[in-house]
Structure 1
């Protein structure tokens, strides 16, 4: 629900830019199984090559992450660890959600992305399970109904990611040359 909302706002706010939903579930990444560290860029597994191609074709990212036990999910951490150079010198924004808006997951993600040489923008969308999801029954997941201010914040985040991604393009080109 959250990813679809982000994609919808992105398409509406920036029709001249191309956005792609990259869903980890589509890659079926096992627990990190490459024999060499990602830093060396020697990928021997077909799933890693497909994942590397998907990340490499992006100039920037908007990560949508829930918070699990004060951090990101194991699946996201695993996916980040599979690659290195494909992440470098790109920009990212973070949309987090959870009981407290997923802020602790976002902070952990910022630290991981810094190690991968991804510049995270300051603007962040923080979605509360109490305020941005309507629950008919307290023990069941609810419909995603973001507050009106959230779309404005997301638009600002997207602006920042686009500007930073464009600014980092010469760095990416210099490194790839």
Structure 2
């Protein structure tokens, strides 16, 4: 089933948007043709765009950006609930759009505006922004007036025409989101998997066992380079890395030539990996290249590692591992 995120585009402490967004979520959740989830920008505080390169050129080195792109990547489409500030889009919302690229492309988007003019001018600006990002903005939208649709300028009252307009907007959004699936899925999933692998490398560098564990399924099976032949379960995989962390003072991990084939909910990849670092003894080791295989499964919209395997070639006559080969 397709997943649609409802982005609440205001972070002000006395905002009206949370009432509107929860109304949208409550109404949408009664449908049976999509899953809906609220995405509150308060939960993702982003600085003014400060990336070294535009997001279309690859993953960010900044954790706040990586967390934001990981949050929106699994969704197939979006509803943006936006106020209108001085005739335009709130800066925090525009900034959130600017921090991502591939995570928006080939996805449908609809708008629910609120303000003195029903957020109409903010919606017009957002259509231009979203079109530039390769999104398909649906024609129907909802306008909520802060002077007419809030009792005592405080409590939002959804009127009959609001419900009807929202229904038409959701109908169109679901239809367009479904129609764009063939264009969207490979790019979105490949980017999400790439982010997962980048996250794994970062967790290894920082010796973050909890972070590594979050990237694996509960029933993950690992054919690791050390015995036994099979390590079953997340805890067994983490125990392996815990032993490695005890040996190294500082360490890094590199993947090379890692290539993935991605399906609807299963993906596999292969390439080469290398562990380097400084041992507790002070000795610097350059490690060795190993052959690496990674299999991932989509669980709850997120890609998790269900199986990994590393190996080194064997010289058959001598029975010795060949640890000096280069990719």
User: Contact 1:41 / 1:83 at 8 angstroms: preserved in 2?
Assistant: no
- The alignment's TM-score, normalised by the length of structure 2, stands at 0.51
Map 1:13-92; keep pairs closer than 5 Å.
Answer: 14-92=31-109
- Residue 5 (structure 1) aligned with residue 23 (structure 2): yes
User: Contact 2:83 / 2:114 at 8 angstroms: preserved in 1?
Assistant: yes
User: Contact 1:31 / 1:78 at 8 angstroms: preserved in 2?
Assistant: yes
Distance 2:55 2:166 in 1: 31
- Residue 112 (structure 1) aligned with residue 125 (structure 2): no
Distance 2:148 2:105 in 1: 35
More helix by proportion, 1 or 2?
1
Distance 1:38 1:174 in 2: 18
C-alpha displacement of 1:174: 5.2
User: Contact 2:56 / 2:102 at 8 angstroms: preserved in 1?
Assistant: yes
After TM superposition, the structure 1 stretch with the greater mean CA deviation from structure 2, 72-81 or 41-50, is 41-50
Q: Which residue is 2:259 aligned to?
A: none
Distance 1:129 1:28 in 2: 26
Distance 2:185 2:144 in 1: 35
Q: Return the index of the structure with the highest Cα Rg.
A: 2
User: Contact 2:59 / 2:66 at 8 angstroms: preserved in 1?
Assistant: no
C-alpha displacement of 1:36: 1.1
Distance 1:41 1:174 in 2: 16
Q: CA RMSD in A?
A: 1.3
Q: Which has the higher contact order (CA 8 A, sep 6+)?
A: 1
Distance 2:77 2:168 in 1: 15
C-alpha displacement of 1:173: 3.1
* Total equivalences in the alignment: 171
Q: Which residue is 1:154 aligned to?
A: 166
Q: Which residue is 1:167 aligned to?
A: 179
After TM superposition, the structure 1 stretch with the greater mean CA deviation from structure 2, 42-51 or 112-121, is 42-51
SS where residue 103 of structure 2 aligns? coil
Distance 1:52 1:68 in 2: 25
Return 5+ residue gaps in structure 1 as ranges. Answer: 136-140
C-alpha displacement of 1:106: 0.3
Q: Which residue is 1:93 aligned to?
A: 110
User: Contact 2:33 / 2:174 at 8 angstroms: preserved in 1?
Assistant: no
SS where residue 22 of structure 1 aligns? strand
Q: Which residue is 2:145 aligned to?
A: 128
C-alpha displacement of 1:15: 3.3
User: Contact 1:61 / 1:91 at 8 angstroms: preserved in 2?
Assistant: yes
C-alpha displacement of 1:57: 0.5
